[in-house]
Amino acid sequence: MCEMWKGIQMSNAWEITNDDVYNVLSAHNMADSVDDKIVESAHDMITDEADRIEQAVLAYTEMEDQTDAALSEIEDILIEQKIIEGDKKFYAP
């Protein structure tokens, strides 16, 4: 993950970056760039849920599965926070 994106460090096991949040938001047509303000705001909102995301990620051993789990969990949190409305687009394996 690129150093220019600040992330949440979670027990050195997984880092959520603005790029991860951007991927979820852009799938819902809510961001055009990783530099959009909504990306940083949404990233800040999921900080309190870092342990939840880490648990979802660590349920898998393959990097692709971990990435899918992280994106799904980020999306779930943003839906719960009413940042995203509409159908889910990301699913854990």
Q: Answer whether residue 64 is part of any domain.
A: yes
pLDDT less than 70: residues of the chain = 1-14
Per-residue pLDDT at 11: 45
Looking at the domain assignment, is residue 90 inside a domain?
no
pLDDT at 13: 60
Structural domains in the chain (count):
1
Residue 24 within a domain: yes
CA distance 36 to 8: 18
Note every long-range contact of 28-36, with CB atoms under 8 Å and residues 24 or more positions apart, other chains counting. 28/84, 28/86, 28/89, 30/83, 30/84, 34/5
- 91 found inside a domain: no
Q: Is 70 contained in some domain?
A: yes
Query: 65 lies in which domain range?
Result: 14-80
5 in any annotated domain:
no
- Distance between CA 16 and CA 1 in Å, rounded? 9
pTM: 0.84
Domain annotation covers residue 61: yes
In angstroms, the CA 37 to CA 31 distance is 9
